[in-house]
Amino acid sequence: MTALGELTRPWQAMSYGFLDPSAKRELRRAMLKAVAVPGCQIPYASREVPMARGWGTGGLQVTLTLVNPGSVVKVIDQGADDSVNAVSIRQFVEKVTGARGTWDTQEATILQSRHRIPEERLREDQILVLQVPNPEPLRPVQPNMSVARQMHADADYGRLWLVLYEQIVRSGRIMQGASYPAMVNDRHVMTPSPIPRWDLPKLNMARHLTLLSAGREKRIFAVPPFTRVEPLAFADIPFRVEDHASLVCHRSGVTGFFMNEIPQAGGDSRHELSDSHFGIKAIRRAEGEAVEIGATWYRNGAMS
């Protein structure tokens, strides 16, 4: 007779990558569906992970499913690798998968990010995982998810255009800040997660795969490589990124990229590069080190 011990593997405190195989299998299926229908929100069970909901649990589940011991993982929050929650997530991924952490965009195979896309161009062999607080671009016009789902099915986006039009009428311009809604592959409007408008053009016809995962809201969607991502805008009032092109980073002297504004006691502001490791590399190069900086999406402050 078979002993019970022969039917099971030796006991381990945790599965590889924390999630058990059934959770990973479900997530892989959802990811494949998301890639097959770009921009369409695919529901998934979204397991609890040892972090609070809203703190990157959706991105984390995707990263934990994609990762293997050979992966190199970069995690950023607001563009910074050493932001406290980015540190916490990267340490967790390293601990439960044996993958190596990095700050270098060029070196990473998986990049998990909250609110930014790095300034250096991503390649075909890299995957960008964006943490998504709210996957539903229709939420402000339709908070009910069942109804919003129907509106996506009907490609019924008139009320989103109306919101943008309303902003122009009331404020003289489109007031949408981050999370700017975009049409993906001419079919589904998605929120690109709260990345600044500056980063949205980086998703259009990109070489890399972007997976956007909302753990709390249990939805995943994707922008596959070479997919059209077009911000909603009007023919006579085009989409505009933040006016950061002429700002100068006071640490690195670099100009032409998205900046953090640091208010100063005297009443004015200084600026620093939001992509923190890009800034570090620029400083190192200026100090004479041989640092490789990848090609950037923006050149001289304009999308290239």
Q: How far is the CB of 233 from other proteins (least distance, A)?
A: 11
Instruction: Name the one range near other proteins by CB under 8 A: 12-20, 62-70, 120-128, 202-210.
Output: 12-20
Token pair in block for residue 212:
């956007």
Examine residue 166 and tell whether it contacts other proteins (CB under 8 A).
yes
Give the full edge-to-edge strand order of the sheet including 127-131.
Answer: 42-43, 219-223, 209-214, 127-131, 110-114, 72-77, 100-101
Report the nearest approach of other proteins to the CB of residue 127 (Å): 21
Footprint on residues 202-221 left by other proteins (CB under 8 A): 216, 218
DSSP class of residue 129 equals: E
Strands 42-43 and 100-101: unpaired
Can you list the alpha helix ranges (DSSP code H) found in 185-273? Answer: none
- Size of residue set near other proteins by CB under 8 A: 97
**Binding residues among 274-303 for other proteins as defined by CB under 8 A:** 274, 276, 279-280, 283
Q: What's the rounded Cα separation, in Å, for the pair 243 and 246?
A: 8
DSSP letter (8 states) at residue 172: S
Burial (CB < 10 A; 0-12, 13-18, 19+), residue 265, is exposed
**26 vs 166: CA distance, rounded Å:** 41
Output the smallest distance, CB 184 to other proteins, in A. Answer: 14
Task: For the segment 27-86, give every residue that binds other proteins (CB under 8 A).
Answer: 43-50, 52-55, 57, 77-80, 82-86
Distance CA 182, CA 77 (A): 22
Kindly state the smallest distance separating residue 3's Cβ from other proteins, in Å. Answer: 13
Q: Is 260 in the site for other proteins (CB under 8 A)?
A: yes
Q: Which residue in the set 171, 265, 266, 290 belongs to the binding site for other proteins (CB under 8 A)?
A: 171
In the list 118, 196, 201, 256, the residue contacting other proteins (rule: CB under 8 A) is 196
User: At closest approach, how far in Å is the CB of 181 from other proteins?
Assistant: 5
For residue 38 the two structure tokens come to 């770009």
Task: Select 39 or 181, whichever has its Cβ closest to other proteins.
Answer: 181
Nearer to other proteins, 25 or 207 (CB): 25
